[in-house]
């Protein structure tokens, strides 16, 4: 077709992908094209703005490597990651809610026996974390695979250290027959997501701060249950209502209690949904 106009080009592009064999690919791509075109028409996108957008995405790509996930950061800060979590993780009332995965998980972290100290030199006051992993009917989930990771008191993850050699404040546990777990780590603090790239420029341009409230990450898997990727957030943190990646949920907030000896305790039970 020739002489395409603002009004006819969208349908022509959609017709051009009509032969896409995979139905889901066709559906997702069609909607993306339709929404992109509608967006450009709605904001009356100028050629200079189009180029700026292309340059921005190119910069995001250049900043990305296997350690620095700038595209994920872009998705996180635009709320797309959390929206996708919401769409895919609706659960019955009473289940622990999911939140964003984040870029600092490491596959194959070291495994520890229950009660171990995973700090391994991470900076911060000691914190004793314990609780149970249960099903919705209160049944204990034995031998659940619990992957834990967190930042230290300076808000830094082990893998962010340029001289990273050993895992710190991360590890894998298996729950006991009564579903219980316990380990010692350090008290992590709130931290800014990385801002030395185009996503940082976007936050600055839009007057946003880059901070995440203090939290501890968990990924819990058990046969017969849905995998839970979540955090426990520190009660009282000043960024709970303005998390840079929109991940805070009320039932994921818990108190870190200071003990008489100056160390801290966190107790939290996780309720998994049946698969
Ligand atoms: C995190 O919690 O580790 C995280 C999540 C999203 C973006 C940056 C960091
Ligand atoms: Fe984090």
Best residue for ligand 1 mutational test, from 83, 103, 211 (most atoms within 8 Å of Cβ):
103
Q: Which two tokens stand for residue 200?
A: 């940082």
C-alpha to C-alpha distance for 143 and 133, rounded to whole angstroms: 9
Burial class (CB in 10 A: 0-12, 13-18, 19+), 275: exposed
Residue 192 C-alpha to ligand 2 middle, in angstroms? 10
- ∠ at Cα 14 (11, 20), nearest 5°? 160
Decide whether any atom of ligand 1 lies within 6 Å of the 245 Cβ. yes
Atom of ligand 1 lying closest to residue 149 CA: 3
C-alpha to C-alpha distance for 19 and 28, rounded to whole angstroms: 14
Residue 100 C-alpha to ligand 1 middle, in angstroms? 7
From first to last of the 275 residues of the chain, give the pLDDT tens digit.
899 999 999 999 999 999 999 999 999 999 999 999 999 999 999 999 999 999 999 999 999 998 889 999 999 999 999 999 999 999 999 999 999 999 999 988 999 999 999 999 999 999 999 999 999 999 999 999 999 999 999 999 999 888 888 999 999 999 999 999 999 999 999 999 999 999 999 999 999 999 999 999 999 999 999 999 999 999 999 999 999 999 999 999 999 999 999 999 999 999 999 99
Q: For the chain, how far is it from start to end, CA to CA, in angstroms?
A: 49
10 Å Cβ neighbour count for 197? 17
C-alpha to C-alpha distance for 184 and 42, rounded to whole angstroms: 53
Tokens 């619990």 sit on residue: 146
Best residue for ligand 1 mutational test, from 82, 104, 190, 213 (most atoms within 8 Å of Cβ):
104
| pTM of the entire predicted model | 0.93
């Amino acid at each position: 077709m020739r002489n395409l106009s603002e009004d006819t080009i969208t349908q022509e592009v959609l017709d051009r992908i009509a032969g896409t064999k995979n139905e889901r690919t066709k559906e997702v791509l069609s909607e993306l094209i339709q929404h992109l075109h509608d967006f450009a028409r709605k904001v009356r996108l100028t050629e200079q703005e189009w180029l700026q957008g292309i340059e921005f995405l190119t910069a995001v790509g250049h900043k990305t490597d296997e350690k620095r996930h700038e595209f994920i950061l872009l998705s996180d800060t635009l709320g797309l990651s959390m929206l996708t979590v919401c769409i895919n993780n609706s659960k019955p009332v009473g289940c622990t809610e999911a939140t964003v995965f984040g870029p600092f998980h490491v596959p194959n972290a070291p495994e520890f026996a229950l009660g171990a100290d995973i700090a391994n030199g991470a900076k911060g006051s000691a914190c004793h974390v314990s609780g149970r992993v249960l099903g919705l009917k209160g049944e204990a989930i034995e031998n659940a695979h619990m992957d834990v990771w967190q930042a230290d008191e300076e808000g830094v993850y082990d893998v962010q250290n340029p001289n990273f050699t050993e895992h710190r404040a991360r590890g894998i546990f298996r729950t006991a027959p009564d579903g219980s777990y316990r380990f010692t780590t350090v008290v992590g603090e709130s931290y800014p997501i990385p801002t030395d790239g185009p996503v940082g420029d976007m936050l600055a341009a839009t007057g946003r701060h880059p901070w995440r409230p203090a939290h501890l990450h968990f990924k819990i898997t058990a046969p017969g249950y849905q995998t839970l990727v979540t955090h426990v957030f520190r009660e009282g943190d000043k960024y709970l209502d303005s998390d840079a990646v929109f991940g805070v949920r009320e039932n994921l907030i818990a108190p870190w209690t200071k003990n008489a000896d100056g160390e801290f305790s966190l107790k939290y039970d996780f309720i998994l949904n049946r698969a």
